[in-house]
């Protein structure tokens, strides 16, 4: 059963199935857009936090470090709930 599924998936990949190619292209486009938006927002804000001293900076840095430990699935679920 597993070998049949594996064989079918390899055949789809090697045959450049149009639906599979469309799925891969869309996935790459969404990923690239997400990285670009995150860089446009995150790099300037990160530079500001690194350069300037302001009240609450330590708390903000601690919060940002804590948020980096969240699994992407949890973040995706929160974003989904906020947008729906």
Residue 38: which domain range?
1-52
pLDDT of residue 67: 87
Whether residues 40 and 81 share a domain: the answer is no
Question: Rounded CA gap, 61 and 55, in Å?
Answer: 12
The total of structural domains in the chain comes to 2
Question: Rounded CA gap, 69 and 27, in Å?
Answer: 24
Whether residues 48 and 69 share a domain: the answer is no
Q: How far apart are the first and last CA of the chain?
A: 38
Q: What is the pTM of this model?
A: 0.66
Residue matched to tokens 């639906």? 19
Whether residues 60 and 33 share a domain: the answer is no
In which residue ranges of the chain is pLDDT below 50? none
Whether residues 2 and 39 share a domain: the answer is yes
Whether residues 48 and 75 share a domain: the answer is no
Whether residues 1 and 39 share a domain: the answer is yes
Whether residues 45 and 7 share a domain: the answer is yes
Give φ, ψ of 49 to 5 degrees. -65, -35
């Amino acid at each position: 059963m597993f070998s049949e599924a594996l064989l079918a998936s390899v055949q789809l990949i090697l045959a450049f199935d149009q639906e599979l190619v469309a799925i891969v292209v869309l996935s790459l486009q969404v990923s690239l857009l997400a990285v670009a938006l995150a860089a446009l927002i995150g790099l300037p804000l990160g530079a500001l936090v690194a350069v300037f001293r302001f009240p609450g900076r330590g708390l903000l840095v601690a919060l940002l470090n804590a948020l980096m430990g969240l699994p992407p699935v949890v973040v995706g679920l929160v974003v989904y709930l906020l947008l729906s």
